[in-house]
């Protein structure tokens, strides 16, 4: 069983390397991060309804609180998943999706002014020669780390500081991961060819549709959702941050990192449910950071795009290291569970730094995501 899961994990990593680069490459690079938000939002929708489907498949009901499953109970669901993956492979084989990523078209985001003055955008010898990639690898490492560690330390925080029973914590963790879906659904609006007013309206509606999905899933799972209604007001902060970013991945990374740092300090300086919802809201501001970092890191790599993508996917291992570090510092003799979230503050501080440095590195190559004129694309 464990060996099989290991092979599945290898397959997922290879899928990530190809799929993320393709999502950026098959359209206008200026909206690449928004397309990645769209794909991530679909992923988060699966993780939100997944527990219900798994419970139904294994236990025969959506509530499995008092039931115990044997290892053999997963055979049929896994076989079904295997067949679905074969079907998806066939679809990709016969589809028009390119079999090779030639490059990310730099000219699509090159400022007309920079082109006129002859900014150097020539290909470099190796992927590591691009500052946006080398710093981006560290950014992916700390991003995945802070995303995982914020959630993984939340149960310990709630049990220690609020005395919350273990059985009652699950919906709060569910809201954290649903927050990523809320943020990504909001950002993904920019990936669609929708004009003016309709797009602005959708930016206000989409996060609440995603929030409604979370409420519906937990209601079906027979959890009390009334404590979560107040979270509708927290989502307003996400909407404002998204509007301020104006679809620019560097600006969005900077603004969302600042919002996440603010949320962490509110959580560390407050108590009770205020601190819980503050820590959960970090999920809202983590939501689009992967698309932003990835887009910034691979844009301008040209023929090194595939190689750069594989390096970025490798850095997902940060989820294991950063969470371990925060868990260690959460000991009573050190920072304690509440102030251990300073680790997250340090991670987001680096991400804000990366937003500034990546923007400067790309501008030095003549690539400007705020360029008024878009010259082509895929």
Q: What is the pLDDT of residues 320-356, one digit of tens each?
A: 899 999 999 999 889 999 999 999 999 999 999 999 9
Nearest of 120, 104, 124, 139 to residue 32 by alpha carbon: 104
The SS3 of residue 367 is strand
pLDDT at 373 over 50: no
Q: Which two tokens stand for residue 259?
A: 């919002």
Beta bridge partners of 367: 110
Residue 226 neighbours by CB under 8 Å, 6+ apart: none
Q: Which two tokens stand for residue 75?
A: 């055979």
Beta bridge partners of 110: 367
Give Cα separations from 151 to 33, 65, 116, 136, 147 (angstroms): 24, 22, 48, 23, 7
Amino acid 105: pLDDT = 43
Range of the domain at 232: 2-364
Nearest of 263, 269, 8 to residue 146 by alpha carbon: 263
Amino acid 30: pLDDT = 66
Residue 250 lies in a domain: yes
Residue 378 lies in a domain: no
Residue 62 lies in a domain: yes
Residue 191 lies in a domain: yes
Residue 183 lies in a domain: yes
pLDDT at 378 over 70: no
Confidence of residue 175 (pLDDT cuts 50, 70, 90): very high
pLDDT digits (tens, 9 = 90+) for 277-302: 999 999 999 988 988 998 899 888 87
The residue that leads in pLDDT, 153 or 105, is: 153
Amino acid 115: pLDDT = 44
Q: What dihedral angle (degrees, nearest 10) is formed by the CA atoms of 121, 294, 42, 188?
A: -60
Residue 168 neighbours by CB under 8 Å, 6+ apart: none
d(CA 299, CA 235): 30
- The verdict on pTM exceeding 0.95 is no
Amino acid 375: pLDDT = 36
Residue 376 lies in a domain: no
Buried b (16+ CB within 10 A) or exposed e, 52-72: beebebbbeeeebeeeeeeee
C-beta separation of 238 from 189 below 8 A: no
| CATH code for the domain of 172 | 1.20.1250.20
- Segment 64-76 shows an average pLDDT of 67
Give Cα separations from 238 to 72, 195, 309, 361 (angstroms): 43, 21, 28, 28
Confidence of residue 110 (pLDDT cuts 50, 70, 90): very low
Amino acid 358: pLDDT = 92
Least confident range of 159-163, 207-211, 297-301? 297-301
pLDDT at 374 over 80: no
The residue that leads in pLDDT, 127 or 236, is: 236
What is the distance in angstroms between the CA of the first residue and the CA of the last residue of the chain? 42
C-beta separation of 239 from 183 below 8 A: no
Nearest of 101, 130, 124, 113 to residue 378 by alpha carbon: 101
C-beta separation of 223 from 62 below 8 A: no
Give Cα separations from 95 to 74, 89, 91, 109 (angstroms): 31, 10, 6, 28
Residue 213 lies in a domain: yes
Nearest of 292, 301, 307 to residue 365 by alpha carbon: 301
Residue 371 lies in a domain: no
Nearest of 169, 160, 207 to residue 186 by alpha carbon: 207
Our count of domains for the chain comes to 1
Of all residues in the chain, the percent with pLDDT exceeding 90 is: 41
d(CA 348, CA 354): 10
């Amino acid at each position: 069983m464990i060996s099989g899961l290991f092979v599945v994990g290898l397959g997922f990593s290879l899928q990530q390397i190809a799929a993320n680069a393709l999502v950026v490459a098959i359209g206008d690079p200026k909206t690449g991060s928004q397309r990645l938000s769209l794909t991530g939002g679909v992923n988060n929708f699966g993780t939100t309804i997944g527990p219900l489907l798994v419970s139904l498949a294994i236990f025969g009901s959506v509530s499995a609180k008092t039931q115990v499953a044997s290892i053999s109970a997963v055979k049929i669901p896994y076989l079904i998943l295997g067949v679905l993956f074969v079907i998806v492979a066939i679809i990709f084989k016969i589809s028009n999706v390119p079999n090779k990523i030639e490059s990310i078209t730099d000219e699509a985001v090159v400022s007309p002014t920079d082109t006129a003055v002859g900014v150097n955008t020539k290909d470099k010898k190796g992927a590591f020669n691009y500052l946006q990639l080398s710093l981006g690898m560290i950014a992916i490492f700390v991003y995945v780390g802070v995303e995982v560690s914020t959630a993984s330390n939340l149960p310990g925080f709630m049990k220690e500081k609020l005395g919350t029973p273990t059985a009652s914590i699950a919906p709060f963790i569910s809201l954290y991961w649903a927050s990523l879906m809320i943020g990504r659904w909001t950002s993904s609006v920019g990936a669609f060819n929708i004009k003016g007013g309709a797009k602005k309206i959708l930016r206000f509606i989409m996060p609440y549709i995603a929030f409604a999905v979370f409420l519906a899933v937990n209601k079906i799972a027979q959890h009390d959702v009334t404590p979560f209604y107040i979270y509708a007001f927290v989502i307003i902060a996400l909407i404002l941050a998204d509007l301020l970013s104006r679809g620019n991945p560097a600006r969005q990374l900077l603004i969302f990192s600042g919002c996440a740092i603010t949320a962490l300090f509110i959580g560390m300086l407050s108590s009770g449910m205020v601190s819980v919802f503050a820590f959960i809201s970090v999920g809202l501001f983590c939501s689009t950071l992967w698309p932003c970092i990835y887009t910034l890191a691979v844009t301008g790599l040209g023929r090194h795009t595939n190689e750069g993508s594989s390096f970025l996917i490798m850095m997902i291992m940060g989820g294991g290291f950063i969470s371990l570090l925060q868990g260690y510092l959460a000991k009573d003799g050190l920072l304690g569970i509440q102030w251990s979230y300073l680790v997250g503050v340090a991670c987001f501080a680096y991400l804000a730094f990366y937003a500034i440095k990546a923007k400067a590195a790309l501008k030095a190559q003549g690539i400007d995501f705020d360029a008024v004129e878009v010259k082509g694309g895929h």
